[in-house]
Amino acid sequence: MNKYNHYTPAAEIRIAPDNPRILLGRPVVYNSWSEPIGGQFREMLLPGCFDASLATGRDIIATIDHNPALILGRTESGTLTLGKDDRGIYCKVEAPDTSYGRDLLISVSRGDIRGMSFIFDVEQDTWGSENGERTRKVSKASLYEVSYVTFPSYPATEVALRQLQRDLHNTADLRRALRLREAELDIRTKDDSGHEHAKDGKFAATSAAGSATEKAHKLTVESGHKGAYGHSKQAESNDIKAHHHAKSGDSDKASNTHHAAAAFHEEAAKKHMKKGLFGVSKKNKAAAEAHLAAAKAHKAAAHAHG
């Protein structure tokens, strides 16, 4: 999200004993703290937070490492089944007879892949602090994807990287979000006589942070770095929410979501700066610098609202 040791060594992700192509797992575990997000806050999912979402019958997909090109199954086709109990949400997916499907089955049987992750939207949450750390408890959310991964943000999940935003690859949604910002994130307003004047420093700080987020995310997209993309989208999601809270005058929530955006920007920067076989490319370095600048802007905005 010092680390809370909630990782389960005997993870429940496993191959069904009666069918070698069926994978069983538990992507969502209630009352379990996530790893520190950007070193700034931890997150916990409260029991029943996805009940309303599951009741809608929305199509949910299962993937490998949140890559839509590596789809394993979906609820609409019946190749992915989701269920719920007091502990959280469990799943059953029939791995496709493809190269990546067969590879996943081998990796799970070897114990190389032992965690799960999920993509969701937060609808209701409560911010606080425990043991000197900022915390967020999610009471209502929408689920869009579960994924078999290597490094879960929630160590207690059984078969990784948790992402806040739904369908990260839907460019139409991205364009709508950007148009929303262009239409609403305006730091100037008109008084009764029609004269424009600047709003207070809180809105100016929120606007500056939003511009920095858009620049950083654009560079991430251009870099093609899949590992950083999810964190960049999470930063963007929290940035948009911070603006809505700022506009409604809820400084506490605006400050919290600005802090969350800063955390995800820092995580994205770390991904971009991870050295590959040929070091760090110029595009990744530029994107990392932009994300660090955006993190700084969001921290400043959080301070302004605090």
CATH number at residue 272: 1.20.140
pLDDT of residue 190: 41
Residue 40 lies in a domain: yes
For 191-245, list the strands marked E by DSSP: 196-198
Displacement of CA 278 from its chain's centroid (Å): 28
Q: Report pTM.
A: 0.56
Q: Are residues 194 and 72 in the same domain?
A: no
pLDDT of residue 154: 54
| Helices within 28-67 (DSSP H only) | 51-55
Question: Angle, to 10 degrees, between the axis of helix 226-248 and the axis of helix 171-184?
Answer: 30
More confident call, 138 vs 226: 138
CB-count burial class (<10 Å; 0-12, 13-18, 19+) for 282: exposed
* Average predicted confidence (pLDDT) for the chain: 77
* Token couple for 258: 């600005």
Q: What's the total number of domains in the chain?
A: 2
* Token couple for 23: 């994978």
Choosing from 149, 182, 200, the residue where a domain stops is: 149
What is the rounded distance in angstroms from the CA atom of residue 163 to the CA atom of residue 153? 9
Mean pLDDT of 147-151: 76
Q: Are residues 33 and 139 in the same domain?
A: yes
Q: Are residues 145 and 20 in the same domain?
A: yes
Q: Are residues 42 and 143 in the same domain?
A: yes
Range of the domain at 186: 171-305
Size of the chain in residues: 306
pLDDT of residue 16: 79
Mean pLDDT of 160-173: 34
More confident call, 5 vs 118: 118
What is the rounded distance in angstroms from the CA atom of residue 284 to the CA atom of residue 266? 14
Report whether pLDDT(159) > 60: no
Mean pLDDT of 260-283: 83
pLDDT grade for 276, boundaries at 50, 70 and 90 = low
- Residue pLDDT, tens place only, 171-210: 344 444 444 444 443 434 444 444 443 345 787 888 889 8
CA angle 98–103–109, rounded 5-degree value: 130
Q: Are residues 124 and 208 in the same domain?
A: no
Q: Are residues 187 and 221 in the same domain?
A: yes
Q: Tell which residue, 92, 66, 235, has the closest CA to residue 145.
A: 66
Residue 141 lies in a domain: yes
Q: What is the chain's percent helix, strand, coil content, to nearest 5?
A: 40, 25, 30
Residue 89 lies in a domain: yes
Choosing from 149, 179, 205, the residue where a domain stops is: 149
Residue 2 lies in a domain: no
- Residue pLDDT, tens place only, 81-92: 999 999 899 999
The identity of residue 247, as a single letter, is K
Choosing from 100, 119, 149, the residue where a domain stops is: 149
Residue 5 lies in a domain: no
Q: Tell which residue, 290, 289, 288, has the closest CA to residue 271.
A: 288
- Residue pLDDT, tens place only, 20-55: 888 888 888 899 887 777 667 888 999 999 999 999
Residue 212 lies in a domain: yes
What is the rounded distance in angstroms from the CA atom of residue 100 to the CA atom of residue 131? 42
Q: Are residues 124 and 194 in the same domain?
A: no
